[in-house]
Homo-oligomer: A and B are copies of this chain.
């Protein structure tokens, strides 16, 4: 459903191109960088879902880059697959040691690449969906995909669920329509911003019977926000 954004970091253009070409499927959006510096800039601005990293980079080695990235709170969870021409066991160990999630030895097939990406994503995605979010009377159980008011369950469609989950994970903060689109629909969706309005409306409609309609607040000119604090009456 949602696309996976892949960042390919390699200084050799043919390899970058080959990989990007191999990933020309509707599921993937492929970006690339040719140096550690450029890569870090893209990571910060785009936060890819997964990184394919060459062992040998001009300035810093892939290992060092991995190690560096693992120290950054914000990016330590991005899975990294290391690409290398060497096949020595020793290197593999170093790779895992630095914190990479998988390892592919060149040359590799398109098939293998896709399979590894899939496996790594499955592994890392499933581990972060344990949280239970709560605000006011509302509880969202991320792993069993449930939303409760008090202890009666309420039903939401997939989009509504994702929206609410996102907002509950970032309460009190305002998000613009385009930010919400990016986060929930994915960056490459050509969806009208007004669509967000409609979904917010639907969410409120479901929450209203429980007097929780006010939880979702409109910030005129800016976007929406989930907040437990009641707007003060004038």
Q: A209, B234: Cβ atoms under 8 Å?
A: yes
> Is A214 interfacial (CB-CB < 8 Å)?
no
Q: B155, A173: Cβ atoms under 8 Å?
A: no
> Is A21 interfacial (CB-CB < 8 Å)?
yes
Q: Would you list 21 pairs from A and B whose C-beta atoms are within 8 A, ordered by A residue?
A: A14-B97, A16-B96, A17-B93, A18-B93, A41-B127, A41-B130, A45-B126, A46-B126, A46-B127, A119-B187, A122-B182, A143-B173, A145-B219, A152-B232, A153-B229, A157-B220, A158-B220, A158-B221, A161-B221, A206-B234, A209-B234
Contact-size category for A = 35 or more
In residues 208-234 of chain A, which contact B (Cβ within 8 Å)? 209, 219-222, 225, 227, 229, 231-232, 234
In residues 124-144 of chain A, which contact B (Cβ within 8 Å)? 126-127, 129-130, 143-144
Q: How far is the CA of A219 from the CA of B157 in the complex (A)?
A: 9
Q: How far is the CB of A103 from chain B (nearest CB, A)?
A: 10
Given A44-B130, A96-B13, A174-B143, A232 and B18 contact (CB-CB distance below 8 Å)? no
